[in-house]
């Protein structure tokens, strides 16, 4: 104990008493109890007793009473490091003690009993009223439906039983919610299982299809632009030939007359040769290649 928190002195004294009860022969004298308790003091609390402990004068001349009396030592601690008015402080804390909806009743019971043991003049009825009035609504509603115990211990036991059932129900609801969520996830996975089955049967085929699909999805713009360019070129070629050819693929009379009048090739439309001698003609190319192959 360091002495910085007055409310920790009570806990320190309780721990010391437990040690004394565990080894009654070792602590049969008060001086042994005082020495044991001082060995666990730190900081400001230890510094308070250091001058008397390190005094080199004759103990008979300046021997403090608390060195040989456990009660005097406790009084010294309470006067110096304890609450200024422990009873009033406990009453104040008891008046403002409430159990929150999200807390378990055990914490509330422990705090209430600890504070109730430090107050004075409170009867059993007053303590039961205080304990019940500071409980959350879900516990008070259950208590009001049964006969309320007349003792503080009985009321505490009833509140603990009700609170245990409350949190048990909360846990069951949470498990059901998780189970419902798991079922919906399982149904979603079942709808997607065909892909998993196909993958197990023919993983290479699925991976190949997936790679093609991913490639098309990841880069859709180039394929779209290429398709548009191809369509535009085909459209221009079609529109250009439609002015020169008929539906049966032959030259229109006007185009034929123009080629004849200007001595142009009926195949490519250029001057200097006839259609049968046109280098662009497939039949002419075949005739030229035949002697070379022979």
Q: What is the pLDDT at residue 282?
A: 57
Q: What is the pLDDT at residue 214?
A: 46
Judge if pTM exceeds 0.85: no
**CB of 151 closer than 8 Å to CB of 128:** yes
Q: Identify whether 32 is part of a domain.
A: yes
Give the C-alpha separation, 43 to 1, whole Å: 8
Q: Identify whether 185 is part of a domain.
A: no
Give the C-alpha separation, 246 to 255, whole Å: 10
Parent domain of 19: 8-82
Q: What is the pLDDT at residue 106?
A: 92
103 shares a domain with 145: yes
Domain boundary among 82, 113, 139: 82
Q: State the 10-residue block means of pLDDT for the chain, 294 residues long.
A: 89 94 94 95 93 76 84 94 88 92 91 91 92 93 90 94 92 85 55 42 42 46 51 52 58 78 78 76 52 46
Q: How does pLDDT run across 236-290, given as a tens digit for each residue?
A: 544 554 555 556 666 777 877 888 787 788 777 787 777 777 777 655 545 544 4
DSSP for the chain, written as a single string:
--SS-TTHHHHHHHHHHHHHHH-TTTTSSHHHHHHHHHTT--HHHHHHHHHHHS--S-TTTS--GGGT-HHHHHHHHHHHHS-SSHHHHHHHHHHT----TTS-HHHHHHHHHHHHTT-SS--HHHHHHHHHHTS-HHHHHHHHTSPPPSSHHHHHHHHHHHHHHHHHHHHHHHHHHHHHHHHHHHHHHHHTHHHHHHHHH-HHHHHHHHHHHHHHHH-HHHHHHHHHHHHHHHHHHHHHHHTTB-TTSSBPHHHHHHHHHTTB-TTT--BSS-GGG-TT-HHHHHHHHHHHH-
Q: What is the pLDDT at residue 136?
A: 93
166 shares a domain with 111: yes
Q: Identify whether 236 is part of a domain.
A: no
173 shares a domain with 93: yes
Q: Identify whether 131 is part of a domain.
A: yes
77 shares a domain with 94: no
66 shares a domain with 49: yes
Q: What is the pLDDT at residue 199?
A: 43
């Amino acid at each position: 104990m360091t002495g910085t928190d007055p409310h920790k002195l009570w806990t320190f004294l309780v721990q010391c008493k437990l040690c004394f009860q565990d080894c009654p022969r070792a602590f049969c004298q008060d001086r042994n109890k005082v020495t044991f308790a001082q060995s666990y003091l730190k900081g400001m609390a230890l510094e308070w007793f250091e001058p008397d402990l390190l005094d080199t004068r004759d103990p008979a001349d300046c021997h403090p009473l608390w060195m040989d009396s456990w009660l005097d030592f406790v009084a010294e601690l309470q006067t110096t490091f304890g609450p200024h008015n422990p009873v009033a402080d406990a009453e104040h804390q008891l008046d403002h003690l409430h159990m929150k909806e999200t807390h378990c009743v055990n914490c509330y019971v422990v705090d209430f009993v600890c504070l109730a043991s430090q107050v004075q003049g409170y009867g059993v009825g007053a303590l039961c009223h205080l304990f019940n009035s500071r409980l959350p609504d879900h516990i008070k509603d259950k208590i009001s439906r049964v006969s309320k115990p007349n003792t503080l211990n009985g009321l505490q036991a009833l509140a603990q039983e009700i609170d245990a059932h409350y949190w048990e129900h909360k846990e069951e609801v949470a498990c059901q919610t998780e189970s419902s969520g798991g079922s919906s996830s399982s149904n979603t996975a079942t709808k997607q299982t065909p892909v998993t089955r196909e993958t197990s049967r023919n993983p290479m085929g699925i991976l190949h299809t997936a790679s093609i699909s991913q490639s098309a999805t990841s880069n859709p713009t180039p394929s779209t632009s290429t398709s548009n360019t191809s369509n535009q070129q085909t459209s221009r070629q079609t529109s250009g030939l439609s002015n020169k050819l008929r539906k049966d693929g032959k030259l229109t009379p006007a185009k034929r007359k123009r080629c004849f009048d200007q001595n142009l090739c009926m195949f490519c439309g250029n001057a200097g040769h006839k259609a049968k001698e046109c280098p662009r003609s497939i039949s002419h190319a075949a005739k030229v290649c035949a002697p070379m192959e022979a």
